[in-house]
Amino acid sequence: MGPIGDAVAPLDLIDPPQPHEGRDGLVDPLAGGADQAGQLFLGAIFAAFVGYRLTGLPALVHLPLALLAGMVGGFLWGALPGLLKARFGAHEVITTIMLNYVAAGLTDFLVNKGPMSDPHTASPQTPAMLDSARLPVVVPGSRLHLGLLLAVAVVPVVWFLIERTTIGFRIRAVGLNAGASRASGISVAWTMVVVMGISGSLAGLAGAVQVLGVSGVLTPSLSSGVAFDAIAVALLAGSSPFAVLPAALLFGALKSGASFMQLQTQVSSDLISIVQAAVIVFVAAPLLVRWLFRLRELPTAPVSISEGGLGQAPTRDGVA
């Protein structure tokens, strides 16, 4: 369970529940993907700095502080594309993917004989995280750490944020129709910055979990394709908040078992990539078929208010 937990936690944190994409809204404003790799790197940088540099703190203070630092780093890196979109209309996917390279280069500079590099090793990495900042192991004798429980706890929190708060209502409204939201008095620019910042903070938390619970050090290869795997998890989960966790569990188990399968059965680990691709194809199949054959979704019945109350509009024959 330890390797699976190591793989599931970052996937679940990068892939929180997201509102539907609208014609005027953000593209998957809270969905994980390759465009969040930079936010994961910045969260890891902030968390690693707090994790090994601050000394003399008890674990009850040091660990939450390191996790919070990771969220702040991801928030700042995520809010930047939101500001560019709100101010100049720059597409958030393009700007975040471009910023991925900036974040990766910054990480390499800091840990490869840079200000955060470990002087006692030739490998490009930071000093090891202090024990007070490491995520504790929840199952003795395994690698299953607190990060998995943290990922599980994030799901209902983000669901509540999206479905039961004013900010969540604004996010959903802007995602469905930015023009109507602006006409109703919602600040579309502010909402874009906030939603991108929230998305970045969760990706930054995933980076902090990677550093504080998995590797124990920050290296340039921290991401290792996690953000790309998150795309598949987001597609499989759709817009269901609580579907993120089982989807992350599926892909985490596939990823963690790939090398073990190759070692024990001599079956190439590339088979796992084929299975993941097949899942994505089957998930996207309805949209592909609808696009190829120019099929339209059946319109829903209109709603009318009559003397009997709220219900479907009557048909031409008078029958609803």
Distance of alpha carbon 126 from its chain centroid, rounded?
Answer: 24
Q: What residue numbers bound the domain in which 61 lies?
A: 2-267
Residue 284 within any structural domain of the chain: no
Q: Is position 276 within any domain?
A: no
Structural domain contains residue 307? no
Question: Does residue 67 lie in a domain region?
Answer: yes
- Cα separation, 251 vs 96, in Å, equals 24
| Residue 214 domain flag | yes
304, β-bridge pairs: 311
Identify the weakest region by mean pLDDT among 85-94, 117-126, 274-283, 309-318: 309-318
Length of the chain: 320
Pairwise CA distance, residues 230 & 15, whole Å: 6
Distance separating alpha carbons of residues 300 and 80, to the nearest angstrom: 39
Terminal Cα distance for the chain, rounded: 54
For 281, phi then psi, to 5°, come to -60, -45
- pTM, two decimals, is 0.80
Domain CATH for 179: 1.10.3470
pLDDT over threshold 80, residue 219: yes
- Position 31 scores a pLDDT of 42
Q: Output 288 or 14, whichever has higher pLDDT.
A: 288
pLDDT computed for residue 149 by the predictor = 86
Q: Residue 93 in contact with residue 27, Cβ under 8 Å?
A: yes
- The reply to whether 169 falls in a domain is yes
Q: Which pLDDT value is given to residue 62?
A: 96
Q: Residue 220 falls within a domain, yes or no? A: yes
Q: How many domains does the chain have?
A: 1
Q: Looking at residues 133-161, what average pLDDT do you find?
A: 85
User: pLDDT > 70: what percent of the chain?
Assistant: 79
Q: Considering only 111-115, 275-279, 290-294, 309-313, which range has the smallest mean pLDDT?
A: 309-313
Structure tokens at 55: 């000394």
* Inside any domain, residue 205: yes
Looking at residue 318, its pLDDT comes to: 47
In angstroms, rounded to a whole number, what is the distance separating the alpha carbons of residues 174 and 181? Answer: 6
In 3-state terms the chain splits into helix, strand, coil percentages (rounded to 5) of 65, 5, 30
230 pLDDT band, cuts 50/70/90, is confident
